[in-house]
Amino acid sequence: MTTAFASRTRPFASPHPIKQLKQDIVKLKKQRFLERDYRIAELIESAPSDNKDRMYWSMVYDLEEAPTVTGRQMILEHGIVPVPLQELSATADLHDEMWTIIEALAKCGVYLVNTNHLCDRDLYARLFYKILDEPCRMMPPASEAAEFIDCLHPMDVEYPLGQQVPVFTQADASAPKKEDPYVRGPECNVIGKLCSRDAYLPKPW
């Protein structure tokens, strides 16, 4: 059980100026949301008289015009600067850091799916060196929208382990029930063996 969602459970002191970085990203986020409101108002004003629906033009902006942001930037809002993989020699520390990032992404409306074919170290490497630097749309305030990142790379499915990963839309009998308290998944340290991590990943529902 985590003591706090999107928080490290191990003793940890970051070498980065976390407070300032967090303030900077929150300031940027507020500025972008002000620009969003201004641009949506422009779209509504220039729209035909029979198409002034704010929800429609908000969706147009969010899907087509909203500036992009990386996952690495988004989780700064929660005071998280990921630790480089080579600094996480202990499996318990790696597991803690990986789930802290997974949870911080979830708080930003970004969710991982299809991770069972990756051990903790491989998934963390994919997070740190690829996923966290991919651009995505910044979610609007109080948004119920969610973005899913599929960790089953097209090249993974060319090999037996990747072919055994069920797509995330299928029901997982081992998944904790919705009413169950949230817990992190168990450590997955065996390379070449499916794990049960997907059943424990945060979900928007």
Instruction: Check residue 186 and give its pLDDT.
Output: 93
Return phi, psi of residue 131, to 5°.
Answer: -60, -45
pLDDT at 1 over 90: no
| Lookup result for tokens 């967090």 | 22
Average pLDDT over residues 114-118: 92
DSSP percent split of the chain into helix, strand, coil, nearest 5: 45, 5, 50
pLDDT single digits (tens) 68-94: 899 999 999 999 999 999 999 999 999
pLDDT single digits (tens) 12-44: 999 999 999 999 989 988 999 999 999 999 999
Identity (one letter) of the amino acid at 205?
A: W
The C-alpha atoms of residue 198 and residue 185 are separated, in whole angstroms, by: 8
Count other C-beta atoms under 10 Å from residue 5's C-beta.
15
What is the pTM (predicted TM-score) of this model?
Answer: 0.86
198 falls in which pLDDT band (50, 70, 90)? very high
| 12, 29, 32, 104 from 70: Cα distances, Å | 24, 12, 14, 13
204 falls in which pLDDT band (50, 70, 90)? confident
pLDDT single digits (tens) 142-188: 666 788 999 988 888 777 777 777 655 455 555 677 777 899 999 99
Strand partners, 138: none
Instruction: Check residue 201 and give its pLDDT.
Output: 93
Instruction: Check residue 172 and give its pLDDT.
Output: 56
H or E element: which one contains 127?
A: helix 120-129
